Amino acid sequence: MRHYHDWEPFCVDPLKPELGQEITLRLRTPARAGFLILERYGEVERRPMKAVPGGLEIRLPLHTSPLRYCFFLTEEKAYLAADGLQGPMPRYDKFFHLLAQPTVPDWAVGAVFYQIFPDRFRNGNPHNDPQSGEWVYMGRPIVRKEWDEPVSYGPGEGPIQHYGGDLEGILEKLDYLEALGIEALYLNPILPSGSNHRYDASDYHNVDPHLGGNPAFEKLVEALHQRGMKLVLDGVFNHIGNTHPDFQKALQDPTSPEAGQFTFYADGSYAAFYGVKTLPKLDYANPLTVERWIDGYHAPVRHWIRKGADGWRLDVAHQMGEGGTDRRNAEILRLIKHNSMEENPEALVFGELFFDTLPTLRAHTLDGSMHYAGFANPVMEWLSGKNVYGWEVAVSSQAAWDTLWDHYTALPLQLRQSMYTLISSHDIPRALWRLSGDVQRFKLALGLLFTFPGAPGLYYGDEIGLDQANPYHDWNGDPMCRGTFPWDERRWNHEVLAWVKTLIRLKKSVPALRRGGLLPLQVTEQCLAFRRMYQGEEVWVYAALEPLEVVLPRVENLLTGQTQTGRVRLSGLGVFRLLQ
Ligand SMILES: [Ca+2]
C-alpha cells in the first residue's frame, strides 16, 4: 500500500487535540493532489489538500468527536478509506475516526500488562487463607485446596475452590515481574466476595481480608509506584453481589431508597447479569445509583483511584444502563472516565467488550477495550483451527489477516495502540492448551501479541508455559485456565520465558512496535506479514506457520541483531527494521 494515515505525529498533529482546536492531518503518499472528504453534521464536505514533502496535508478545526473523514486521490481516481483504496465513495463506517480529548493516557500506549487472578498467583501470607467450610457459597461449603492440587471441575465447583493467593504474594514477586519487563498490572476483582473470582462483591470500599485487606493494597500500590509500575483494577459496576447490604435492604424493604437502585419486576423477580440471581443489575436511571457507585465522593469509581489505582477495566462495560437494559450506556461510561480522571488525570479506563467493540469505542466513551474480537479470536483461530468454544473453524492466513485489519482500521485512531491485546485470559482457555502444547506455535502467538499494535496483556503463567487442560464440553463458568502459578522453576518452560523477555524488550525499545501505525505487507497460505511505521522508522513482521524464504531490502534482524539483505530464511516470527 502506497498511502498511509495512522495515529503518529506525521499524520495527526497534535496527536491529542482538544475539541475546537486547529489540527493538521497529513497523508503519507506519492500523490501530489487530493481532497479531504469530511463528514460534517451528517453531510459531506470536500476540501483540497496541499502537497508537502512526503505527502498531502490540510489544516482544519476539530469540530466534533469523533471526526470522520477519508481522502480522495485525484490521480488514482479513488477514495482512501480507513481500510484501503476504493473506487466508490465509502460509507461513514469506513471513514477514519479521530477523537478529541480526553483519550488514552500516554503511559498506556503500547504498555506491557500482566493479568493476575489474585487467588492463584502467589500465596504470600498463609494466615489469611480461606479455610474449608469457613462459609457457604451458593449452597456449597467452600474448599481450601493445596497449591499444587489441580482445579477440579464439576457443576458449581468452580467458584468455591480457594488456594490462598493474595496481594502479599504479588508484592513478594514484584522483582520477578519487573525483571520480566512488566509495566502495569491488571488484577481481577479484589473486593470481598464469597466466590474466588469476586465478580459478586459484598463490599466496594474494602479489599478482601483474604487477599491481605486494605493494608496489603496500600503496600502494593506504593511498591508498584516506586518502581514506576501501574495498577488497573477490575471494575464491576453493571451488577453487584446479592449479599451486598444495598441489595439485602432492597429485598427487605421494597420502599427503601436502596430498592430503587435495582430493577424489580411485577412478579417479584429482578434484573440480573445474564439472569444469574446472585448478580443483581444496577439501575442507573436512579440518581442514587449514579451517586453511590460512580459520581459521589465515596463512589468506588472515585475511591479506588484516589487510593492509588491507575485505572479501571470495566466488566461488561457495554451492558451498564437504565431499567435493566443498556439504555444511556455511553453517558454512563463517559461519566466513569471523567470521574476517574478527576481523581487522577492519567487514569486509564477500558472495557471488557468481548465482541464488537466499535459501537462503544466510536461513541467516545472509553480508552479502549480487551481485544478479543479484533486480536485473540482471529490469531488463535488461525493458529489452532478452533474457535474459543472448541468448534473447528477454517481460518486461512488471508482470513485471519482480513479480520485483524478490519478491526484495527475501524478503531478510532487514538485507541489503536492501547487496546488491551491478549491471547489468554481468565475467561478463555490458555493459548498453549488451545495449541495442543505446540510450543513453536505458542511462541508465534506470543510473537504476534508483542509485535501487533496494542498494549499486550500477558496472562499470569503464560510466560513460563503454564498449560492447563480446559475441556470445552465441561465449561462451567470457571475455566481451568485459572490454575495456580508453579513457583518451582524446574516446572517452567525456560525457552518460553526467554522468548517472552526478548519480545517485551523489543516492544519497549522499538518505537515502531510500541506506538507505530500498521500497514499490510504480504499474506500467503503459510504466512502473514505486516509493516509497523513510526516517524520514518519501519519494521516488517512475518508470522510464518512453516519455514519460509523471503526477499528483503537491507534490514536489521531485531531478533538476532544481524544485518541482512536479499533472500532470508525464517521460521516462526521474523522482525526486521529497514535500514536506509
Ligand atoms: Ca494467603
Residue 20 CB burial class (10 angstroms; 0-12, 13-18, ≥19): exposed
CA 558, CA 539: separation in Å to the nearest integer? 9
Peptide bond into 102 cis (omega under 30): yes
The answer to whether residue 48 is domain-embedded is yes
The active-site residue, picked from 8, 208, 352, 427, is 352
Q: How far apart are CA 270 and CA 276, in angstroms?
A: 10
In sequence order, the 6+-apart residues with CB closer than 8 A to the CB of 255 are: none
Q: How far is the CA of 148 from the centre of ligand 1 (A)?
A: 14
The domain that contains 568 carries what CATH number? 2.60.40.1180
Among the candidates 39, 71, 98, a domain finishes at 98
Burial of 524: CB neighbours in 10 Å, binned 0-12, 13-18, 19+: middle
Number of domains in the chain: 2
How far, in Å, is the centroid of ligand 1 from the Cα of 126?
4
Q: Grid coordinates in use for 273? A: 447479569
274 Cα to the center of ligand 1, angstroms: 31
Q: Which helix or strand (DSSP H or E) is residue 409 part of? A: helix 397-410
| DSSP strands (E only) in 392-503 | 420-421, 455-459
- Mind listing the pLDDT tens digit of every residue in the chain (580 residues)? 689 999 999 999 999 999 999 999 999 999 999 999 999 999 999 999 999 999 999 999 999 999 999 999 999 999 999 999 999 999 999 999 999 999 999 999 999 999 999 999 999 999 999 999 999 999 999 999 999 998 887 778 889 999 999 999 999 999 999 999 999 999 999 999 999 999 999 999 999 999 999 999 999 999 999 999 999 999 999 999 999 999 999 999 999 999 999 999 999 899 999 999 999 999 999 999 999 999 999 999 999 999 999 999 999 999 999 999 999 999 999 999 999 999 999 999 999 999 999 999 999 999 999 999 999 999 999 999 999 888 899 999 999 999 999 999 999 999 999 999 999 999 998 999 999 999 999 999 999 999 999 999 999 999 999 988 766 555 544 567 999 999 999 999 999 999 999 999 999 999 999 999 999 999 999 999 999 999 999 999 999 999 999 999 999 999 999 999 999 999 899 999 999 8
Closest CA to 35 of 54, 5, 57, 52: 57
Q: Is residue 365 part of a domain?
A: no
- Within a domain: residue 199? no
Establish if 440 belongs to a structural domain.
no
Cα of 461 to ligand 1 centre, how many Å? 19
Task: Tell me whether residue 569 is exposed, middle or buried, using C-beta atoms within 10 angstroms of its C-beta: 0 to 12, 13 to 18, 19 or more.
Answer: exposed
Q: Give the residue from 79, 98, 117 where a domain finishes.
A: 98
Is 0.75 surpassed by the pTM of this model? yes
- Residue at 65 is within a domain: yes
Catalytic pick among 6, 183, 315, 427: 315
Q: Please confirm, yes or no, whether 352 is among the known catalytic residues.
A: yes
Asked whether residue 531 is assigned to any structural domain, the reply reads yes
Under 8 Å CB-to-CB from 27, ≥6 apart: which residues? 3, 4, 5, 11, 34, 49, 55, 56, 57, 71, 80
Query: Would you say 475 and 469 are in contact if contact means Cβ atoms under 8 Å apart?
Result: no
Cα separation, 446 vs 441, whole angstroms: 9
- Is 129 known to be catalytic? no
Q: How many CB atoms lie within 10 A of CB 408?
A: 22
Measured CA to CA in angstroms, residue 158 lies from 138, 161, 467, 477 at distances of: 11, 6, 18, 7
CA dihedral (431, 437, 442, 445) in degrees, to 10, reads: -40
d(CA 476, CA 328): 32
State the alpha helices, DSSP H only, in 412-554: 431-434, 439-451, 494-509, 511-515
The H helix count followed by the E strand count for the chain is 14, 25
Question: Cα(171) to centroid of ligand 1, in Å?
Answer: 12
Grid cell, residue 74, equals: 485525484
- Could you list the residue range(s) of the whole structural domain that residue 70 is in? 12-98
d(CA 198, CA 5): 43
In terms of phi and psi (left: phi > 0; alpha: psi -120 to 50; beta: otherwise), the region of 275 is left
Task: Tell me how far the alpha carbon of residue 123 lies from the centroid of ligand 1, in angstroms.
Answer: 5
Is residue 481 helix, strand or coil? helix
Q: What is the CATH number of the domain that holds 67?
A: 2.60.40.10
Dihedral sign (CA 544, 550, 556, 557): positive
For residue 137, how far is its CA from the centre of ligand 1 (angstroms)? 19
Who's near 215: CB < 8 A, 6+ residues apart?
none
Domain boundary among 98, 121, 144: 98
